[in-house]
Structures are given as C-alpha cells and as structure tokens.
Amino acid sequence: MKITVTVNGRKIQEDAACDLLLIDFLRAHGCLSVKRGCETSNCGLCTVMLDGRPVLSCSVLAVRADGRRVETLEGLQEEAEEFGAFIADQGAEQCGFCNPGLMMNAIALFRENPEPEEEEIKEYLAGNLCRCSGYEGQLRGIQAYLAWKKGVRS
C-alpha cells in the first residue's frame, strides 16, 4: 500500500507492506532514537508522537500513520536539549538507553500540562522501563526543569 507520512517535517511517500510496524518504517528512514526494547508495548523505548500524541511505535502499523504527522526525538532536538541537561544533572542518564522514550513522554507531558503535579509526572513515567536508575533521578530532573522554566517565565 502506498503511504505518505510526514516524519519530523519531511514528507515520505513509499509502498509499505501491510504488516510493517511504524518502528521499522522510522528506523529505515534514519530515526535511530526510536529503539526496540520489549516488543510487547511495555517499555516505552519506541515512543514517538503521532499527530502530537505519544504512541508506542512497536504496536502501530506504518499504514495507520498514512496521512499523519510523526515526530521522533530527532525532530524535537530543541525541546529535548534543554530538558536533557536536567536529567543528566540528576545522574539519571546512567546507560542512556531509555532516555529517548522518557524524553518523548516528558515532552508530551510538558505540552499537555506545563505545571504537572508529582503524581501526574509519575503517571507519564510509568510507561518507561529503566533498568538502571529507579526513576527517582528522572523525577527530580523533571521537577528541577519545571522549576527552572517557571523561574524563566516569571
């Protein structure tokens, strides 16, 4: 089936097999931040924005993205760069494997709710498997980033 997907602002048209997963489509087009982890929709490593909403690309067929807009971490560098320093500052970047998925969900959270409560942050982190840190560093990094943003806006 011929599909047209806008990936990080670039229109891609190609034939796609009906069973091609979005993760494979994106990686074939150079989006290497989209990682394969559990392949059961449980770890969050493959999170991308589909029309501005976070989805797990390992559980979405590429044909379902036809006519839609997909953003990966490669396309969100400006948003991610600022926030990433706060995660690193908290020592939550140990191996870094989970960071792209975590950052995609954090960006979705910031867009949806610029001033989330701690429980809301934890809800967004819940879908991201991190084998190194125990999530406390990520939570502290997000809270520090939000406090900094609030100070910048004042």
- Chain segment 81-105, per-residue pLDDT in tens: 888 888 888 876 677 777 888 899 9
Give the pLDDT mean for 23-43.
Answer: 91
Which residues make Cβ contacts (< 8 Å) with residue 108, sequence separation at least 6? 49, 53, 54, 124
At residue 152 the predicted structure's pLDDT band, cuts being 50, 70 and 90, is low
Q: Same domain, yes or no, for 96 and 66?
A: no
Looking at 74, 91, 108, which one is the last position of a domain? 74
Dist CA 144 CA 138 (whole Å): 10
Mean pLDDT of the chain: 89
Residue 61 sits in a domain whose CATH number is 3.10.20.30
Q: What is the tally of structural domains in the chain?
A: 2
Q: Same domain, yes or no, for 81 and 149?
A: yes
C-alpha count within 13 angstroms, C-beta hemisphere, residue 74 = 15
Which residue range is the domain that position 43 belongs to? 2-74
Q: Same domain, yes or no, for 66 and 88?
A: no
Q: What is the pLDDT of residue 154?
A: 44
Q: Same domain, yes or no, for 53 and 95?
A: no
